[in-house]
Amino acid sequence: MTDLLRIAELPELRDPHLVIGLAGWTNAADVSTGSVTYLKDQLKARKFADMDHEPFTKYTSSRPTAAIENGRVRSLAYPKNDFYYWSNPDKPHDLVLFIGTEPDLAWPTFTKTLLDLAVQLGVSRICAVGGYYDSVAHTGDVLCSGTATDEAIRQQLEQMGVGLSTYFGPTGMLTALLWEAQQRKIPAVSIWGRAPHYIQVANPNVWHQVLWRVGHLCNVPVDTMPLMRRGQELNQRVSESLKDNPQLREHVAQLEANAPAPGPPMPQTPGAAGPLEKDDVLRSVEEFLRGNQDPSER
């Protein structure tokens, strides 16, 4: 095994599925890392390995984060790439979780390292989770899109109301992983939650809609009721903010009137929220939400 991996223990797993969440370009509304971390916490999955971040990181693009209090540096955190496992007592498929950071550099090495370990563990299906900002209203149903490497999984996606993606353009690591998995003949799927572009904070509504589909695809029981409650609270705070923002209220009403039916969307770059993104009204909504956000959601 490559020296890029530090393995504390190599678990013995039964026909495991691998779920992937990455910080970075594919993580709008914290859908990718937030939902997979929620799943890890719900299952009490155990960490067994990590991948060295340094060969993949350009620190001027992916900076470490610091906590400074009263003029003293309390902590410094670099990007992480951690592996967890969970043994499923009721189903024939155990679970591997990878929660990491999209690499700035050496994408082929990153995908090879990750998928080599997946092969060694006997992974039989890969499910990658992503999120992007879109012109959708917070009051409507959360829509999801998806991509899969074989027809059977594509049919499963359609049965769960996931629109099959059609997209041409710059892409992220999740798509690169699906491509490499396809070359290795490992069944793989990505599920993307579409988050309202004017709510650029962690969005439990989207996490919930993505996670129940992941649970179905990977035979994993996950309690999403806490996410539903947190999502309702978020929507209430957004609705409160609309009372003082007639321009945004009108914009949301237009989104509601033009709500797309579930189907294959055209993804946007996370952060490219559309023509209103830079308006003062949108910034005020972000400030309102962040000021009222539960610390556990940050």
- Assess if residue 16 is contained within a domain: yes
Domain hosting 273: range is: 5-293
- Assess if residue 298 is contained within a domain: no
The residue ranking higher by pLDDT, 86 or 282, is 86
What number is the average pLDDT over the span 108-131? 97
For 158-198, the pLDDT digits (tens) are 999 999 998 888 899 999 999 999 999 999 999 999 999 88
- Assess if residue 220 is contained within a domain: yes
Secondary structure of residue 172 in the 3-state scheme: coil
Average predicted confidence (pLDDT) for the chain? 86
In this prediction, residue 274 has a pLDDT band, given cuts at 50, 70 and 90, of very low
Q: What is the CATH number of the domain that holds 127?
A: 3.40.50.10900
Q: Which amino acid is at 191?
A: I
CB neighbour burial string for 171-188, b if at least 16 within 10 angstroms, e if fewer? ebbbbbbbebbeeeebbb
Q: How many domains does the chain have?
A: 1
Report which of 215, 222, 224 is spatially closest to residue 17, judged by C-alpha positions. 215
- Assess if residue 204 is contained within a domain: yes
- Assess if residue 68 is contained within a domain: yes
- Assess if residue 123 is contained within a domain: yes
